[in-house]
Amino acid sequence: MSTRGGGTEARPDELLRLLVALQERGQRAMAVRLHDGPMQEFTAVLLELASVRRRLPGELAERVVEIEDRLRATTFELQLPPSIFRLGHDAPAALTAGLDQRVAGLLVDRLDTELHLEENPPSDAEIAVVLAAVQVLLMASNPHATGERAWLSVRTGPAGVDLRLGVRPSGHEPPADEARAGRLRPLAQLIGADLRHDAEAARWTATLHLARSTAATPSR
């Protein structure tokens, strides 16, 4: 894809990075709306309950305290998780947070990970590309339900980042599903991933290498 007038071609890794940037922006916008709307209302209700409680006798006051505690617990549950790229997150913590928030339980029932990032830690941009690649591949595998189990290995080195994602689809799906393969092949080709189907093992595997410039030094 190119822009009119001889513009440069969009890189797949840039599209994947923008996908995660869009998710981050949406999460920040939702957090602001929750804070300025429902959370403010919860706070006002709690203040009113505290005012009422102070004028009540013992047993009734204790009952109001229980209601206040339940409301506080509810407000805590409604809080959105912080950005995966927040200050204090190193590379493993950022990628783990992203996988916990946006993959495990949402796109696959069980996600086993093997991360080797310490010696040559990835940049935020590389983490975003890895996270987006995993998300779009799992979504293409089954757009309507979660897969049964996935295995993810991410390893960084001086030359780049290597990702390996193996997925066992849910039990009701046939091992050799042409529709699933038809969804995955063009997507894998678009993002530069190597895709293999193993009907005997009832799983598919995608590998992706993100090359680094020899002059580039990953930074956070």
Pair (202, 95) in one structural domain: yes
| Residue finishing a domain among 22, 43, 78 | 78
In a domain, 104, yes or no: yes
Residue 114 sits in a domain whose CATH number is 3.30.565.10
- Encode the chain (220 residues) as per-residue pLDDT tens digits: 334 445 566 688 887 888 888 887 877 777 778 777 888 888 889 999 999 999 998 899 999 999 999 988 888 777 767 777 776 678 888 899 999 989 999 899 999 999 999 889 999 899 999 999 999 999 988 888 787 789 999 999 999 999 999 988 766 666 557 788 888 999 999 999 999 987 777 788 999 999 987 544 455 5
The rounded distance, in Å, linking the Cα atoms of 71 and 68 is 5
**Claim to verify: residue 144 and residue 62 sit in the same structural domain:** no
Structural domain tally of the chain?
2
Please give the Cα distance from 185 to 137 (Å, whole number).
10
User: Are residues 36 and 139 located together in one domain of the fold?
Assistant: no
Residues 191 and 107 reside in one and the same domain: yes
Same domain flag for 175 and 100 = yes
Q: Is 188 within the bounds of a domain?
A: yes
178 shares its domain with 139: yes
- Picking from 78, 100, 133, the residue at the C-terminal end of a domain is 78
Query: Are residues 125 and 206 both part of a single domain?
Result: yes
Is 165 in contact with 150 (CB distance < 8 Å)?
A: yes
| 195 shares a domain with 103 | yes
Answer yes or no: is 217 within a domain: no
3-state secondary structure 146-170: CEEEEEEEEEEECCEEEEEEEEECC
List own/partner pairs for 209-213 with CB under 8 A and 24 or more apart: 209/160, 209/161, 209/162, 209/163, 210/13, 210/126, 210/129, 210/130, 210/160, 210/161, 210/162, 210/163, 211/159, 211/160, 212/158, 212/159, 212/160, 212/161
58 and 112 inside one domain: no
Q: Which domain holds residue 49?
A: 13-78
114/180 same-domain check:
yes
Place of tokens 């940037």: 21
